[in-house]
Chain A
Amino acid sequence: MPEAPKPTLAFFDFASCEGCQIEFTNYGDEATLELLKHIDIVEFREAMTETSPGRIDIALVEGSFTREEDRARLQDIRHRAKVVIAYGACACTGGINALKNHQDDFAEYVYGADASMPHLRSGTARPISAAIKVDYEVLGCPMSKEELLNVLSNLLHGTRYIAPTYPVCVQCKRRETVCRFDEGDYCMGQVARAGCGAPCPADGIPCEACRGFVEDANLPALEKVLVERAGFSQTRAVGKSRMFTANLRS
Chain B
Amino acid sequence: MGQNIHIDVHHLTRVEGHGNILVNVTDGVVEQCEWQVPEAPRFFEAMVRGRHYSEVARIVSRICGICSIGHTLASVKATETALGIEITPQTRKLRTLLKHAENFDSHVLHVYILVAPDLLGAPSAFALVPTHAEVVARALRLKRLAHEWGSLIGGRTTHPTTVLPGGFSKVPTVAELEAMRAKLAEAVPDLDATLATITALAPAIPAFQRPTEYMALTSDEEYGLYDGYIQTILADGSRARYEVADYRSCTNEYVSPQSTAKFTKNRLDSYAVGALARFNVNYDQLHPKAKEFAESLGMSPVCTNPYFNSVAQVVEIVHSAYEALRLFDELIADGVVEEPLVQPSRWGTGASAVEVPRGILFHEYAYDDEGLCTDANCIIPTNQNHANIQADFDALLPELMASEKTEDEMRLALEMLVRAYDPCISCSTHNLDVEFIR
Contact = CB atoms under 8 A, between A and B. Distances in A.
A99 B59 CA distance: 10
Contact of A49 (B66, B123, B137, B426): B123
Interface string A5-43: 000000000111111111101111100110010000100
Contacts of A133: none
A112 B125 CA distance: 41
A220 interface: no
Interface of A: 14-23, 25-29, 32-33, 36, 41, 44-50, 63, 66-67, 70, 95-97, 99-100, 103, 105-107, 109-112, 114, 117, 119-120, 122, 125, 141-142, 199-200, 203-205, 208, 233, 235-236, 239-240, 243
9 contacts: A19-B158, A29-B140, A70-B40, A100-B43, A119-B257, A141-B62, A205-B169, A235-B50, A239-B51
B81 to A, nearest CB: 22
B432 A109 contact: yes
B114 interface: yes
B381 interface: no
A117 B256 CA distance: 10
Contacts of B65: 16-23, 142
A217 B116 CA distance: 49
Interface stretch (B159-167, B218-226, B238-246, B395-403): B159-167
Interface string B21-55: 00000000000000000101111011101111001
B362 to A, nearest CB: 15
Given A67-B40, A112-B433, A18 B124 contact: no
Contact of A45 (B11, B144, B372): B11
A106 B62 contact: no
Given A204-B170, A236-B52, 11 more contacts: A18-B426, A20-B158, A28-B144, A50-B124, A66-B40, A95-B62, A100-B42, A110-B41, A114-B255, A199-B161, A203-B155
Interface residues of B, number: 68
Contacts of A107: 41, 43, 46
Given A22-B65, A106-B47, A117-B255, A47 B156 contact: no
A184 B134 CA distance: 50
Given A21-B65, A49-B14, A111-B433, A29 B141 contact: yes
A103 B48 CA distance: 11
Contacts of B155: 199, 203
Contacts of B169: 203-205
Interface in B394-438: 426-427, 430-434
Contacts of B114: 47
B372 A119 contact: no
Nearest to A17: B65
Nearest to A29: B140
Contacts of B278: none
B59 A26 contact: no
Given A142-B65, A243-B55, A15 B14 contact: no
Contacts of B162: 203-205
A141 B63 CA distance: 12
Interface in B82-132: 109, 113-114, 117, 123-127, 129
B264 interface: no
Which of B64, B65, B137, B138 has the most chain A CB atoms closer than 10 A to its own CB? B65
Lowest 3 CB-CB distances: which A-B pairs, in order? Answer: A19-B65, A48-B124, A204-B169
Nearest to B161: A203
B50 A239 contact: yes
